[in-house]
Homo-oligomer: A and B are copies of this chain.
Amino acid sequence: MRRAIALATGNVLSRGGGPFGAVVVRDGKIIATGTNLVTSTNDPTAHAEVVAIRAACKALGDFQLAGCVVYTSCEPCPMCLAALFWSRCDAIFYGNSAADAADAGFDDALLYEEVSRPLDQRRIPMTRLLADEAMESFDAWRTLPDRIDY
């Protein structure tokens, strides 16, 4: 956790982006780290946890992080929490809370409300189109003989 915090603070001072750092550990060894690179790389998905997950998967040559734990300097936003879920990591340790992040000007707490809200009550309007035609993609998936589930 101290490494994640140091990465977060260093990232601010180096103008990498926001005050967030993350570390992926397996068997007591750091296999990857990440910091928030949103503004320096023009990538709104480049939160510390996402950057660390991508680096860890690259290092392991796998699309899952089973057996790994993730230390992040701040409670993951919903994007990062869901990314951690998809990564299948074993546990998450965090330092600052979503409320702390809100106090520092970040939308994490607001975003938890948004994701929990019914679809028709969200800030970004969501509209369903061509439901019948869209099903063809899932039909193709279901019938693919050599599909790789994830």
Contact = CB atoms under 8 A, between A and B. Distances in A.
Interface size on A, as a range, is 35 or more
Interface in A100-129: 100-101, 103-105, 107, 111-112, 114-116, 119, 123-129
A28 to B, nearest CB: 16
Nearest to A62: B42
A38 B112 contact: no
Contacts of A53: 44-45
Contacts of A73: 134, 137
Contact of A104 (B5, B79, B138): B138
Contacts of A75: 119, 126, 128
A124 B90 contact: yes
Nearest to A90: B124
Interface of A: 1-2, 5, 8-9, 12-13, 15, 17-21, 38-39, 41-45, 50, 53-54, 57-58, 60-65, 71, 73-75, 77-97, 100-101, 103-105, 107, 111-112, 114-116, 119, 123-131, 133-138, 140-142, 144, 146-150
